């Protein structure tokens, strides 16, 4: 069967240890985690996790079913099965002598990214977008020398009123 | 059973006594809540972090507390109690090493879906995370092997947590739930209001099956020419054995019961084919491999049942009935998936009986095979054969005892040669395969059924893993008949080393084991030994006639193997039939 990337939204009780329950489940069942983000949801007491994982349809079905077995899991939605918006934020610290600044800023502008800090020998770029866009931004900045890179992982939501 | 154990009062009386709101400690809340959940027996071991709980237990008479000699003994006893009674088993241990000694027992219960509430003490909330004396992160350690767990940080949460824990443990796919109570929480006082409502948004087991799938199943049954039922522990856990009996009689479908399903269906029935899998019968394994319709009810297609998955039941349309949706399609793809409670599903199916009219020839084939390919072994007049011993236990007790086993060859012989006719009479560690389980689980089973004969069958290896619990049999006069099938060797490992590792016998010799009769006597338990059939008959009769606990050692032939056997990686019809073929 074909393996591909899936984004899964998991609504969970905001309880101590819930992240450990979910990540532990992925670990011991041999499911992979490409990224995981957690934060408040629209309802007090509940958090939403968005997990990007890789696998075939059978694996995905097992992931959903095993997640539902956790008492603290309220709802599991496979976002990738529907039209969705997926976004990630990255902070990239790039080596930059004052002379290189205009060139880099040009790139940043093209990507609708932003320079959020300037040091004597570096710039910090903030870029928001889907994973491909961030990959592309990183690729373009690599020749200047990336000193530090930090990505949030994907958060996502289904489009429309659903 | 025993004058030392006080008579319990009725649940109604106890409820009346304990329901009234009152300001009490967390420890008192725990004990009252246990009573209100219907607990009548707890197995435990005290220690620093549970001192408040044990202080509350001082003079407390509304349930029994059995002091085991090791926490592992306590949890296996609670497990045996739960499997024999259908109620939730409860055990208590202290923090750190007390809690970690429970880990094997928790995993055992988790693998076999046994409802337990496991209570551990922990260091005070102010000390958690500081590597305090006897601190262990037991909720973290047991996360992969519990159905759910709680670390109670506020005494006010305790009544709710206990009520939820019992509900979660004994509904849906059952399993162990751990409640970790820090020492300051068990000491803190609050107003106790018994909790009787539940608010668990993330927990709604599917009991009622999808009607469309049931219709599909009925249609498949009416068309089937070679149908087979595999029934597992889920039938017993749901209380569905009577519905299963009716279903088999309605449909005329031959049935095999898995290791954990033994007792779900009477072994004397003409449609019963025995156990399937690695040490299953010829009839059951070949039945599955030739079936055109395979109906799995409450079993999980464990690798010991399926053998090589790629070649499992190659001709069959697969029907999988399970309360746990995650089991369906996990190992074997299901053509007709049915999520639901086994009893509920079977009762719905029984409302509309469909007989397998096209399966007459198949039933005839099954009958012929049962006669031509029964389980067999070569008996001896000079040596005791373990299979003969089990047959003798079966004959003398008419298949009516509760039998617990340890793990290994004796377990498989007991599964093959003891003929079960009722549910909750066979208690064995199937999924985890836990040595040391056999004896303490029998103590729990006997506590659940004081009036029944409980036989604990062990090997000489596993008997030494929890033999310290002879003390609680002796002191409480718990009349378990403890059988040791002694072949002086780790028999199942020896068998694999003989058959698969070319007779390279590595570290299996149990020389240096104690004299089991003297060991029993050292605890004040009667010990008897037999080395031939005549002695065996005599001492077994004596054991049955002795009112209290007795250890009965049968010294058997060392080199005996369990047959049939399907080696790993083979399909289940590629069977080694052994010396008797």
| pLDDT mean over B272-289 | 98
d(CA B288, CA A79): 40
E strand segments, B443-505: 454-459, 481-486
Domain identity same for B136 and B15: yes
- pLDDT value at position B80? 98
Domain identity same for B222 and B306: yes
DSSP letter at B8 equals P
Residue B129, C-beta contacts closer than 8 angstroms, at least 6 positions apart? none
pLDDT at B5 over 50: no
- pLDDT value at position A2? 76
Domain identity same for B20 and B122: yes
d(CA B422, CA B415): 14
d(CA B460, CA B410): 10
- pLDDT value at position A161? 87
The answer to whether residue B573 sits within a structural domain is no
Which residue from B minimizes the CA distance to A17? B140
The answer to whether residue B197 sits within a structural domain is no
Q: Do the Cβ atoms of B202 and A24 come within 8 Å? A: no
| pLDDT mean over B484-511 | 97
* Count of residues in chain B: 581
Number of H helices, E strands in chain A: 4, 9
Q: Which of B161, B192, B223 is the last residue of a domain?
A: B192
| pLDDT mean over B534-538 | 98
| pLDDT mean over B371-397 | 96
The answer to whether residue B110 sits within a structural domain is yes
Q: Do the Cβ atoms of A65 and B203 come within 8 Å? A: no
d(CA B182, CA B121): 6
The answer to whether residue B43 sits within a structural domain is yes
Q: Are B427 and B86 in contact (CB under 8 A)?
A: no
B163 membership: H or E segment, kind and range: helix B158-169
Q: How far is CA A104 from CA A90, A122, B445, in A?
A: 16, 11, 75
B176 SS3 class: strand
Tell me the chain A residues in contact with residue B152 when contact means C-beta distances shorter than 8 Å.
none
The answer to whether residue B107 sits within a structural domain is yes
Q: Are B225 and B292 in contact (CB under 8 A)?
A: yes
Domain identity same for B239 and B340: yes
Q: Which of B373, B404, B435 is the last residue of a domain?
A: B373
| pLDDT mean over B343-364 | 98
Domain identity same for B341 and B417: no
Q: Do the Cβ atoms of A71 and B148 come within 8 Å? A: yes
Clarify whether B488 is annotated catalytic.
no
Domain identity same for B114 and B178: yes
d(CA B9, CA B579): 56
**Domain span holding position B408:** 386-562
The domain total for chain B is 3
Residue B237, C-beta contacts closer than 8 angstroms, at least 6 positions apart? B86, B113, B174, B298, B342
Mode of pairing for the β-strands spanning B176-182 and B148-151? parallel
Q: Could you give the angle at which helices B26-36 and B158-169 cross, rounded to 10 degrees?
A: 30
d(CA B546, CA B538): 12
| pLDDT mean over B289-308 | 98
pLDDT at B69 over 90: yes
Q: Do the Cβ atoms of B326 and A66 come within 8 Å? A: yes
- pLDDT value at position B10? 67
Tell me: the pLDDT tens digits for B201-210?
A: 999 999 999 9
| pLDDT mean over B107-124 | 98
**Average pLDDT of chain A to the nearest whole number:** 95
**Which CATH number fits the domain that encloses residue B100?**
3.40.50.970
Which residue from B minimizes the CA distance to A73? B202
Q: How many CA atoms lie within 13 A of B541 on its CB side?
A: 6
B529 membership: H or E segment, kind and range: strand B526-530
Q: Which of B183, B370, B419, B481 is catalytic?
A: B183
| pLDDT mean over B286-300 | 98
ipTM over 0.90: yes
**Nearest Cα residue to B520 out of B486, B493, B556:** B486
Tell me the chain A residues in contact with residue B143 when contact means C-beta distances shorter than 8 Å.
17, 20-21, 24
The answer to whether residue B519 sits within a structural domain is yes
What is the side-by-side strand order in the sheet with B426-427? B426-427, B402-405, B454-459, B481-486, B550-555, B526-530
d(CA B193, CA B22): 7
E strand segments, chain A: 4-13, 35-40, 46-55, 73-78, 84-95, 114-118, 122-129, 146-151, 155-158
Tell me: the pLDDT tens digits for B426-480?
A: 999 999 999 999 999 999 999 999 999 999 999 999 999 999 999 999 999 999 9
**Which CATH number fits the domain that encloses residue B366?**
3.40.50.1220
Domain identity same for B332 and B407: no
Domain identity same for B139 and B71: yes
Residue A110, C-beta contacts closer than 8 angstroms, at least 6 positions apart? none
The answer to whether residue B576 sits within a structural domain is no
Tell me the chain B residues in contact with residue A17 when contact means C-beta distances shorter than 8 Å.
139-140, 143, 151
Measured between CA atoms, how close is B164 to chain A, in angstroms?
A: 11
Tell me: the pLDDT tens digits for B135-162?
A: 999 999 999 999 999 999 999 999 999 9
pLDDT at B163 over 80: yes
d(CA B382, CA B533): 8
CB-based burial, B2-11: b 16+ in 10 Å, e otherwise: eeeeeeeeee
Residue B8 pLDDT level (bands cut at 50, 70, 90): low
Domain identity same for B182 and B249: no
- With pLDDT > 90 as the criterion, what percentage of chain B qualifies? 94
Tell me: the pLDDT tens digits for A123-147?
A: 999 999 999 999 999 999 999 999 9
**Average pLDDT of chain B to the nearest whole number:** 96
- pLDDT value at position A4? 86
- With pLDDT > 90 as the criterion, what percentage of chain A qualifies? 94
Domain identity same for B422 and B501: yes
- pLDDT value at position A1? 62
How many CB atoms lie under 10 A from the CB of residue B471?
Answer: 17
| pLDDT mean over B519-523 | 98
Tell me: the pLDDT tens digits for B316-348?
A: 999 999 999 999 999 999 999 999 999 999 999
Domain identity same for B172 and B54: yes
B575 membership: H or E segment, kind and range: none
- pLDDT value at position B20? 82
The answer to whether residue B250 sits within a structural domain is yes
Domain identity same for B188 and B237: no
Q: Which of B192, B222, B243 is the last residue of a domain?
A: B192
Q: Which of B37, B43, B63, B71 is catalytic?
A: B71
| pLDDT mean over A67-89 | 96
Tell me: the pLDDT tens digits for B239-273?
A: 999 999 999 999 999 999 999 999 999 999 999 99
- pLDDT value at position B16? 79
- pLDDT value at position B14? 78
Q: Are B185 and B152 in contact (CB under 8 A)?
A: yes
pLDDT at B9 over 80: no
pLDDT at B26 over 80: yes
């Amino acid at each position: 069967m074909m393996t591909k990337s899936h984004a899964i939204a998991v609504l969970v009780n905001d309880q101590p240890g819930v992240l450990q329950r979910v990540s532990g489940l992925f670990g011991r069942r041999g499911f992979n985690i490409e990224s995981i983000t957690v934060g408040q949801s629209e309802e007090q007491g509940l958090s939403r996790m968005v997990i990007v994982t890789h696998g075939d349809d059978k694996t995905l079905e097992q992931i959903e079913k095993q997640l539902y077995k956790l008492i603290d899991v309220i709802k599991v939605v496979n976002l990738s099965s529907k039209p969705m918006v997926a976004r990630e934020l990255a902070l990239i610290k790039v080596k930059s002598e004052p002379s290189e600044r205009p060139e880099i800023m040009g790139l940043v502008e093209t990507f609708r990214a932003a320079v959020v800090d300037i040091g004597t020998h570096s710039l910090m770029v903030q870029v928001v977008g889907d994973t491909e866009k961030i990959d592309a931004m990183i690729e373009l900045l690599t020749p200047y020398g990336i000193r530090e890179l930090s990505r949030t992982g994907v958060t996502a939501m289904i489009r429309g009123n659903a | 059973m025993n004058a030392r154990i006080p008579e319990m009062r009725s649940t109604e009386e106890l409820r009346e006594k304990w329901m009234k709101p009152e300001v009490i400690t967390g420890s008192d809340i725990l004990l009252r809540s246990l009573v209100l959940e219907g607990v009548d027996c707890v197995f435990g071991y005290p220690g620093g972090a549970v001192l408040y709980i044990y202080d509350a237990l001082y003079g407390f008479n509304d349930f029994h507390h059995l002091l085991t000699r090791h926490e592992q003994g306590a949890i296996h006893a609670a497990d045996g109690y739960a499997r024999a009674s259908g109620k939730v088993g409860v055990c208590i241990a202290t923090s750190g090493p007390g809690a970690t000694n429970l880990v094997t027992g928790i995993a055992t219960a988790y693998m076999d879906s046994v409802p337990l509430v496991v209570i551990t003490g922990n260091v005070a909330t102010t000390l958690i995370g500081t590597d305090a004396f006897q601190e262990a992160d037991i909720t973290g350690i047991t996360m992969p092997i519990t159905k759910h767990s709680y670390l109670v940080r506020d005494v006010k949460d305790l009544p709710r947590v206990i009520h939820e824990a019992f509900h979660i443990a004994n509904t849906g796919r059952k399993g162990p739930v751990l409640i970790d109570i820090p020492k300051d929480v068990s000491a803190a006082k609050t107003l106790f209001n018994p909790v009787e409502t539940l608010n668990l948004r993330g927990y709604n087991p599917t009991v009622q099956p999808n009607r469309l799938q049931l219709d599909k199943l009925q249609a498949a049954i009416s068309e089937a020419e070679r149908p087979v039922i595999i029934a597992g522990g889920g039938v017993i856990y749901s209380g569905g054995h009577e519905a299963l009996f009716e279903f088999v009689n309605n449909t005329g479908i031959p049935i095999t019961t898995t290791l954990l399903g033994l007792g779900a269906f009477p072994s004397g029935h003409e449609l019963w084919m025995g156990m399937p899998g690695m040490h299953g019968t010829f009839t059951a394994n070949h039945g599955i491999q030739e079936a055109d319709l395979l109906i799995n009810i409450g079993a999980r297609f464990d690798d010991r049942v399926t053998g090589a998955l790629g070649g499992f039941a190659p001709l069959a349309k697969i029907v999988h009935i399970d309360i746990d949706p995650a089991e369906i399609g996990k190992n074997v793809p299901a053509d007709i998936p049915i999520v639901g409670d086994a009893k509920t599903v079977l009762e719905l199916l029984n409302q509309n009986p469909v007989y397998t009219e096209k399966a007459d020839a198949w039933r005839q084939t099954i009958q012929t095979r049962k006669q031509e390919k029964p389980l067999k072994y070569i008996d001896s007049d000079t040596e005791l054969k373990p299979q003969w011993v089990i047959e003798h236990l079966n004959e003398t007790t008419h298949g009516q005892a509760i039998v617990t086993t340890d793990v290994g060859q004796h377990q498989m012989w007991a599964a093959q040669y003891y003929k079960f006719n009722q549910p909750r009479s066979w208690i064995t560690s199937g999924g985890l395969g836990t040595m040391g389980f056999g004896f303490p689980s029998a103590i729990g089973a006997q506590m659940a059924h004081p009036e029944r004969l409980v036989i604990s069958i062990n090997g000489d290896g596993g008997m030494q893993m929890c033999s310290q619990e002879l003390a609680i049999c002796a002191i409480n006069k718990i009349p378990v008949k403890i059988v040791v099938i002694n072949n002086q060797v780790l028999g199942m490992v020896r068998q694999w080393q003989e058959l698969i590792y070319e007779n390279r016998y590595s570290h299996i010799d149990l020389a240096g084991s104690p004299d089991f009769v003297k060991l029993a006597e050292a605890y004040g338990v009667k010990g008897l030994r037999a080395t031939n059939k005549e002695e065996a008959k005599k001492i077994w009769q004596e054991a049955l006639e002795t009112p209290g606990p007795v250890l009965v050692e049968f010294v058997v032939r060392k080199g005996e193997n369990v047959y049939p056997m399907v080696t790993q990686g083979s399909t289940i019809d590629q069977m080694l039939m052994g010396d008797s073929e």
